[in-house]
Structure 1
Amino acid sequence: MPEERESVAAASDRELAQTLDLLSERVARYRVDDLVLVYCNRAWAAEHLAEPDELIGLPMTDLLGPSELEGLHSQLARLGPSTPFLHDPTPRSAPRMVGRWVEWADRYLPGPTGAHILAVGRDVTERRVAEERLAQSEARFRDLADRSADIVWRVSVHPHPHLSYLSPSVERLTGWTPAAFGDRMDHLLEILDPQAREMALQALAGRPLADRFDARVRRADGSWAVLEMQVVRLPDGLQGVARDVTEMRQLQEDLAELALRDPLTGLANRRLLDILLAAALTRAARTSEPLVVTYVDLDDFKGVNDGYGHAAGDAVLIEVARRLEGTVRGADIVARLGGDEFIVVHEAVGDGLAAVGERIRTALAPPYTLPSGDVVTCTASLGESDTRGHLDAPSLFAAADAAMYAAKRARTGRERHTDG
């Protein structure tokens, strides 16, 4: 019966209203033609500090604040039969609840007596506050990063790996402007050396990455910079600081080189000689090829130093080093022990064992032209030992040293000592 159906419908409407009153979302319904409110739940009314019955029948223009009215008119301009649902992504401030923010979604409801709008608002204050704090934090980060002497960078991996931030200092340190990199990774990967490029690709793939490492980067002028990278992994990518350590690394290399090289001649010093000879002896034992150690001592060097000065003496030592290097191949070693004493190590000499010392003596025989233009001669005494007697490094040195002094005493210029 009609009366019964109406009763059931009324009961259903009451149950729906009671259910809507339990929601934390704001729910309101108003007419399109005059914007009069025809329904609101308790959450919507509470936002206006009233009961629903006190608000129904009032125009929305009297109930909403400027921000919400702006959103309402924006939604109405687009809602209609062809666009029945719209979500307004911009949170609007609640008019009578200071500090609260609401996000709205609206549905267009056509009807025989005119169209209505069903509006549902969700309190997003906590999200809004978090976003504002994040924005403030990001602003502080960018302010500090923009002022940093180091390069500060951030890479995000979604929707694709891209540079989401690069500090202006990149131009001063590399010559590349931030604009040259764009938001993609292509240019960055192109200017990294192969090892650093592979590390970057591994990191983007989510693989473990060292907290601190060096990366070589090609500058805009074609030269290379060494950047010390400090990296932290973020939920959406990577963030790091790059410091230019090019000069520092070069200095460290120079210091390491000085620790292993004679500063005057550039030859190996005793420390490097010990390292290289140990490796050479291992190879000789493996291949059964003889290894020859030649001790070289200049006979007339003191006269050059005393007669022409230390600069002349240095010039002779440098030329001796150059000539000795001309007698060796590949893995052979030339070292300066100090003063006018040198060591030459020849590997895998085979049948040419007897010719090693002769090559050295011949190389050192020609006169030396000093910076002053004077020409001097400077003979050398040689002592040799070899591995045919299975000698270790100390024994090889001792035998060659003894042979050299014997040659000097005899003034023959050369004596061989082997334990073969």
Structure 2
Amino acid sequence: MAGFGAALAMPAVVRAQDSDNLFDMFSHNRVMREADREGNTATALSLIETVEPILSFDTAYNLQLAIQNYEQFVAVNGSWDLPQQDWFGLMLGHRRKPVKALKRRLMINGDMAVEERISDTFDERLDAAVRLFQARHGLIINGQIDEPTFYALNVPTDYRLNQLRLNAMRIEQWASALSDRYVVVNIPAATIEAVEASSVVQRHTAVVGKVDRPTPILNSKIHQVKFNPYWTVPKSIIRRDLIKYMNEDPEYLTKFRIRIFDGRGNELQPTDIDWSTEEAVKYTFRQDPGAENSMGHCKIDFYNKHDVYLHDTPQKALFGENARFHSSGCVRVEEVDALVAWLLRDNGGWDITGVQAAFESNERLDVPLTHQVPIHTTYITAWANRQGTVSFRDDVYQHDAAGTVTFAS
């Protein structure tokens, strides 16, 4: 009763603010309870993961439709509204004025159905729209206006339209040279597609090259799978990384089972090398097969002059990141066992069970492909599918900024 009396004694404006805060709290709790966030994520993924390959005439056609829609919007409206700072941190259950502006933006983008009366509550419909926006931009799907989502919203319309035009031309060029069965690595998306009979049969999350050590863009053929390989450290990594690691931790090579050999095949000890110089570059550094091996349980070889390849990795946590640009040019593959089984299916006796058994054995084995499979490492930052869903990725290597359409293989 004393508390009740004190509340009555407060100024009216304070009681009104408390009332609003109380309403906000109850509204937040109710919306949170009723929302099907997992279902919203599943719906978002179903709208982007259709069967047409990113490199295909279907995608080229879908891109032309998207370009027409964007051109019409720009001609009439100029640009959509860019986010204000008060959008940052918005999430399910919030009852705030900026929610209305966020809803309008996502209605324009097509992520949310148009509503005649727009409320200021971050409701389940808006949660579903934010998750679709995040899925279309390759972001971690959490329904929140976090930093990556805020920056993706902050890209102007004319920039997105330019991306659509550039990538339509790129896909037209690549699509004309495709076979019935092939693998595509899309570098900006850090994803891999295994394609057969004009349909995607597998999709894999990938980790690709850093900005200063990019994955090369090329066309080649996969010709071999190496199970439980040794890893010979490239000279560039010895110079850029290994010497630094040894200066920071003299036990680094021992921990990761990396051995040193001279030109005659004699094994050296880490203490035999002067790590204050670049002497180490003269020697061969080879990592034994096993759980710590940088290539994990397999290496997928394709012909190229850059000494890059697809491979497994012990660093599985990297696949859960928004920006997966961590390698020195090679491509790490999530759930690589499924891709290997698909590549080796014509070799006889290889299925997912056999591949996993080979991994677990830790035994060295090289398997040449009976039928070599084409591989295309590509640079696609915008594409559209048959459902009309348009996806975008960041211009990580600045090829969009340079207006590059044709890449030397």
* Structure ranking higher on relative contact order (CA contacts 8 Å, 6+ apart): 2
Same fold (TM over 0.5): no
TM-score with structure 2 setting the length? 0.20
TM-score with structure 1 setting the length? 0.20
| Higher-Rg member (1/2) | 1
- Structure with the higher strand share, 1 or 2: 1
